[in-house]
Amino acid sequence: MGGAAGGKLTVIESFFNVSAKAGIDIVIPDNIQGNCCGQPFSSKGFSQGFTHMANDTIDKLWHSTANGKLPVVLDITSCTHTLKGCRWALSNENKKRFDAMKIIDSIDYLADYILPATIIKNRKSSIVLHPVCSLQHMGLENKFLSVARKLADEVTIPLHAGCCGMAGDRGFLFPELTQSATHHEAAEVKEREFSGYYSSGKTCEMAMSDAVEKNYESIVSLMDECT
């Protein structure tokens, strides 16, 4: 979703890099364009649109994963949370497929698959994190923090860290939502300089980048730089 600022690698390029360093082969499905977890529909109350998209995505993933043999890794935590919670909207056939598939967020991927198999060659001096809402919903906030502490000497989570107000894609349509939601967190972050700004969801990173006027990146990019 989008490129990277300052000529840096995109999150997908970094995702391939860290996977290669850990000796893991990655496949991007041929039909990935147009796939969606369905959150832009569910966040607006379009339940039929969400149901259609969730079923379509699970159906495509089933075939892309060789009938559930390959795990699915997502690099946007809000998408992971939505997809892992879509079972109620699935057809009976897709419920069976869903139950047979393993869906992994990038934070679990970095902590459980990448860190144990790679060598950390350098660390950032100080970084600030924006834990997205979905990390808290899935109980991954502490894991996010533990990964970051392996990659930086000083890790800060702002006292006022909270929802960025993006709500799927609502912040694109109503930017005053993100301006209001990020006000206190951004003011706190702006009080000092950090050597890096990281999160785990592209839309949230965009909202925080606008608010703080610093480039927020995926923690996958941090892992790539440090290993």
| 3-state secondary structure (DSSP) of residue 105 | strand
Kindly report the average pLDDT of the chain as a whole number: 93
Give tens-digit pLDDT for 95-122: 999 999 999 999 999 999 999 999 999 9
Q: What percent of the chain has pLDDT over 70?
A: 98
Of 22 and 41, the structure prediction assigns the larger pLDDT to: 22
pLDDT per residue over 151-171, tens digit each? 999 999 999 998 898 887 888
Domains of the chain, CATH where assigned: 19-108 (no CATH), 120-226 (3.40.50)
Give the side-chain half-sphere CA count within 13 A for 146.
11
Which runs of E-coded beta strand occur in 76-213? 103-105, 124-129, 152-156, 196-199
Report the C-alpha gap between 46 and 67 in whole angstroms.
Answer: 29
Residue 37 has pLDDT above 70, yes or no: yes
pLDDT of residue 7 exceeding 80, the answer is no
Tokens of 31: 């039909």
Per-residue pLDDT band for 1 (boundaries 50, 70, 90) equals low
pLDDT category at 2 given cuts 50, 70, 90 is: low
In tens, the pLDDT along 61-93 reads 999 999 999 999 999 999 999 999 999 999 999
How do 103-105 and 124-129 pair as beta strands? unpaired
Give per-residue pLDDT as tens, 172-215: 889 999 999 999 999 999 999 999 999 999 999 999 999 999 99
In sequence order, what are the residues at sequence separation of 6 or more whose Cβ sits closer than 8 angstroms to the Cβ of residue 202? 1, 2, 11, 75, 76, 218
| C-alpha to C-alpha distance for 227 and 222, rounded to whole angstroms | 9
Task: Detail the DSSP E strand segments found in the chain.
Answer: 72-74, 103-105, 124-129, 152-156, 196-199, 216-218
Q: State the pLDDT confidence band at 227, using cuts at 50, 70 and 90.
A: very high
Half-sphere exposure of 93 (CA within 13 A, CB side): 7
